[in-house]
Amino acid sequence: MSEKNHAKDLGFLLKGLLKEKSLSMRKLSVLTEIDIATISRIINGKQQAKLNHLQQFSLHLSIPLEKLIQAAGYDIGGKQEEVPSDIHYSFDMIQEILKSYKLVDTTFTISRIQQELAKYEQYAKTEEGHQLICRDFQTKLEQVGNAGPFIEQLRDLYMKYCDEVTLLHERTILGSALLYFILSTDIIPDYVFPIGYLDDAIAVQLVINRLAK
Q: How far apart are CA 124 and CA 170, in angstroms?
A: 11
**pLDDT given at position 53:** 84
Amino acid at 163: D
For residue 205, the model assigns a pLDDT of: 84
Whether 46 contacts 24, CB under 8 Å: no
Residue 189's pLDDT is 54
Helices vs strands, H then E, count in the chain: 11, 0
Write the pLDDT tens digit of every residue in 162-183.
999 999 999 999 999 999 999 8
For the chain, which domains are there?
3-74 (1.10.260.40), 110-212 (no CATH)
Cβ atoms < 10 Å from Cβ of 187: 20
Please report the pLDDT score of residue 77 as a whole number: 43
Q: What is the pLDDT of residue 186?
A: 58
The pLDDT of residue 110 is 74
Q: Give residue-wise pLDDT tens across range 12-21.
A: 999 999 999 8
DSSP assignments along 35-49, one per residue = -HHHHHHHHTTSSPP
Question: Smallest Cα–Cα separation from 206: which of 103, 120, 84, 106?
Answer: 120
pLDDT at 212: 86
Cα 62 to Cα 202: distance, rounded to the nearest angstrom: 21
Q: Angle, nearest 10°, between helix axes 149-162 and 198-212?
A: 50
Per-residue pLDDT of the chain (213 residues; tens, 9 = 90+): 444 555 678 999 999 999 998 999 999 999 888 999 999 999 998 888 887 788 788 888 988 877 888 888 765 444 333 333 443 444 455 555 555 555 445 455 677 888 889 999 999 999 999 999 999 999 888 877 654 567 888 899 999 999 999 999 999 999 999 999 998 665 555 544 445 567 787 888 889 889 987
**Residue 96: its pLDDT value, please?**
54
CA distance 209 to 213: 7
Task: Yes or no: say if 208 and 153 are a contact pair by the CB < 8 Å rule.
Answer: yes
